[in-house]
Amino acid sequence: MLKVPAHQVAGHRAGSGKLGPLVDDSGRFYKPLQGDERGAREAAFYTSFSSDTKVPDHISRFFPKFYGSQLVEASDGSGMKPHVVLQDLTFSRVNPSVMDIKIGSRTWGPEESADQIQKCMKKDRESSSLTLGFRLSGMQIFGTKESGYWRPEKTWIQSISADEVRLLLRKFVSSDTSASKPDCAFASIVYGGSKGILSQLLELKAWFEDQTSYHFFACSILMMFEKELALDGKSPCPEIKLVDFAHVYEGKGVIDHNFLGGLCSLIKFISEILTTPEDSATNGLLDDVHRSHVYPENGSA
């Protein structure tokens, strides 16, 4: 009854004996709890956050709904394991384009081991985290029913330069996934507008300027929309969601300046696409990507 999620673009994937999240056909997402500190933190976060009356509705909507914890047959065949049961964020979406962006120049919290800090710092420095304050963790862009999804390789996407990040954020809202010069055809209806992604990011920013309850390390923002709706003249339902709370710490009266700084940097990147959708300074940069990193797949419709 449980199956591997179709639109997971980052993190551990279930399947072929591997442990990863599962979904059911009623819109629930089962995320296995890592057996260490991380699993405990993630469960504690969902429990505490979902009953936190200080979080306003216009902010809690950016988080997956939480349905408690449950013992579920693990995807790696290792038997019944504890999972957090969450909202399946792409449930009912048709051929969604999805981008997973890990926020913060620092992805390690105050209580990590020296080893873990070294490991995270290395990744932060080798990716764009340290320079941009965020890094792309994974993405899929729906092209057409024939071409399917464009999914760059995960190890590649986590090591790209600022200019390549800029270009992928443009490509994400462009009409032709195989063009090396993104046209940003959907920028104004996905990133822009009063219900667009930029507007949602700004709401989130205002909350982060004020909230001092939670510090989110190594947490991601998912950006999603449906290109086909746009082609039908409808709203592509642009939406952001926060995911991955295995490194959430108590804020202790201090704002999460690490997350906020990275969020502001992402906001600046998106704003620039809206003000200069025609910018072609970085065109051509992705030619190599197209030769080596295209993974066409059929759409799910």
Q: Which residue type is seen at 226?
A: E
Name residues contacting a second copy, limited to 146-165 (CB under 8 A).
162
Report how far residue 134's alpha carbon sits from residue 255's, in angstroms, rounded to the nearest whole number: 18
Sorted by sequence, the CB contacts under 8 Å of residue 208 that are 6+ apart come out as 255, 256, 259, 260, 263
Q: Would you say 47 and 103 are in contact if contact means Cβ atoms under 8 Å apart?
A: no
By the rule CB under 8 A, 133 interacts with a second copy: yes
By the rule CB under 8 A, 261 interacts with a second copy: yes
Among 138, 262, 277, 299, binds a second copy (CB under 8 A): 262
The first and second tokens of residue 106, run together, are 């620092």
Report how far residue 298's alpha carbon sits from residue 146's, in angstroms, rounded to the nearest whole number: 7
Report how far residue 205's alpha carbon sits from residue 211's, in angstroms, rounded to the nearest whole number: 10
By the rule CB under 8 A, 258 interacts with a second copy: yes
Report how far residue 207's alpha carbon sits from residue 262's, in angstroms, rounded to the nearest whole number: 14
Minimum gap (Å) between residue 206 Cβ and a second copy: 11
Minimum gap (Å) between residue 131 Cβ and a second copy: 6
Among 146, 253, 275, 278, binds a second copy (CB under 8 A): 253
Q: Would you say 110 and 101 are in contact if contact means Cβ atoms under 8 Å apart?
A: no
Q: Name the strand (E) or helix (H) holding 52.
A: none
Among 87, 159, 180, 265, binds a second copy (CB under 8 A): 265
Of 111 and 232, which CB lies nearer to a second copy in the complex structure?
A: 111
By the rule CB under 8 A, 58 interacts with a second copy: no
By the rule CB under 8 A, 229 interacts with a second copy: no
Name residues contacting a second copy, limited to 186-225 (CB under 8 A).
209-210, 212
Among 10, 22, 101, 132, binds a second copy (CB under 8 A): 132
Of 105 and 200, which CB lies nearer to a second copy in the complex structure?
A: 105
By the rule CB under 8 A, 106 interacts with a second copy: yes
The first and second tokens of residue 6, run together, are 């179709």
Beta bridge partners of 86: 29, 66
The first and second tokens of residue 58, run together, are 């216009």
Give the binding range for a second copy (CB under 8 A) out of 28-36, 76-84, 91-99, 265-273: 265-273
Q: Which residue has the tokens 């729906």?
A: 142
Residue ranges that bind a second copy, judged by CB under 8 A: 105-106, 110, 130-133, 162, 166, 209-210, 212, 252-255, 257-258, 260-262, 264-265, 267-268
